[in-house]
Amino acid sequence: MAISKDKTIGLASDHAGYALKCAVKEYLEQLGYAYHDYGCLSPERCDYPDFAHALARGIENGECGYGIGICGSGEGISMALNKHQQIRAALCWAPELAKMSRLHNDANVLVMPGRYIDESTARAIMDEFFRTDFEGGRHVERIRKIPVS
Catalytic residues: 71, 104
Supply the DSSP string of 73-101, one letter for each residue.
SSHHHHHHHTTSTT--EEE-SSHHHHHHH
**119-131 and 18-31 helices cross at what angle (nearest 10)?**
50
Task: Give the residue among 83, 81, 71, 80 at the shortest CA–CA distance from 108.
Answer: 81
User: What is the tally of helices (H) and strands (E) in the chain?
Assistant: 6, 5
